[in-house]
Amino acid sequence: MQKIVIAIDGYSGCGKSSTAKAVAKILGYTYIDSGAMYRAATLYFLKHQIDLSDKAAVNKALKHIQISFQTDKASGQQETYLNGENVEQQIRSMEVSDFVSEVSKIKEVRKELVSQQQQLGKAKGVVMDGRDIGTVVFPDAELKVFMTADLEIRAKRRQKELIEKGQEVTLEEIIRNLAERDKIDSTRAESPLVRAEDAVDVDTSYLDFDDQVKKIVELANERIGLYSKAY
Ligand code: C5P
């Protein structure tokens, strides 16, 4: 059976990661969280107090950033590693969330991470979620999905997730962060968040999680079938 690339893009907190993870599991594909890579780079910049306006310092820092993913044996969850250290918890903090869109605007950062993402997906059989996967990272992806959801619904879901992870954050704080990131991500000069022309729209505001996963798996199976016939 031929393998395809599934690109899932969309606004912050509309359930891209959990959906992509579930789709990958059903199809036996690899899930790649490109946002986690921008978050890990952001953590590095914060920890090392890199001045983002200093190009030379940014480029130097990028040479020292190695991001990888490993599945935790006990939970079965994929976790993010920065230079060998498990940073899964740290990259989900509000401090990183508040700074990540500033780091993601930088051309050199995008160039480096896009190249790593293309490398990770080159054998196909991947589900990658982010902001520019269907437009820049894999413009030839066989299936592109553009996910949206109402801002308040997204914020409530994110708050529930953070509370489950032991982080107390107010709804207002989350709404502010999501809206701010959407604005920066959609208006930046370098590969802004835009819907790929050939993407399928999925509004998750009132969709049951299982239904949204099912919908994408059906679309994927359709594309896998078409793709297998063509080759
Ligand atoms: O997906 P997540 O919300 O964790 O992404 C965090 C941030 O990383 C986004 O708000 C965006 O600034 C950046 N990002 C990006 N391009 C991607 C994935 C994430 O610019 N492909």
CATH number of the CATH domain containing 21: 3.40.50.300
User: Which SS3 state, helix, strand or coil, does residue 209 take?
Assistant: helix
100 lines ligand 1 (CB under 6 A): yes
ipTM of the complex: 0.99
Is 61 a domain residue?
Answer: yes
Q: Which residue, judged by its Cα, is nearest atom 16 of ligand 1?
A: 131
Is 30 a domain residue?
Answer: yes
Is 147 a domain residue?
Answer: yes
Q: How many residues are recorded in the chain?
A: 231
Structural domain boundaries enclosing 158: 5-206
Task: Give the pair of three-digit tokens for residue 153.
Answer: 């619904």
% of the chain beyond a pLDDT of 90 = 91
Is 41 a domain residue?
Answer: yes
Residue of 14, 90, 100 to test ligand 1 pocket, by largest number of atoms within 8 Å of CB: 100
39 lines ligand 1 (CB under 6 A): yes
Is 230 a domain residue?
Answer: no
Number of structural domains found in the chain: 1
130 lines ligand 1 (CB under 6 A): yes
Is 217 a domain residue?
Answer: no
Is 168 a domain residue?
Answer: yes
> Under a CB-based contact definition with an 8 Å cutoff, are residues 145 and 130 in contact?
no
Kindly report, residue by residue over 47-80, the tens digit of the pLDDT.
999 999 999 999 999 999 999 999 998 888 899 9
Kindly report, residue by residue over 194-225, the tens digit of the pLDDT.
999 999 999 999 999 999 999 999 999 999 98
Task: Give the pair of three-digit tokens for residue 175.
Answer: 């709404």
Average pLDDT, the chain: 95
Is 142 a domain residue?
Answer: yes
DSSP 138: -
pTM: 0.94
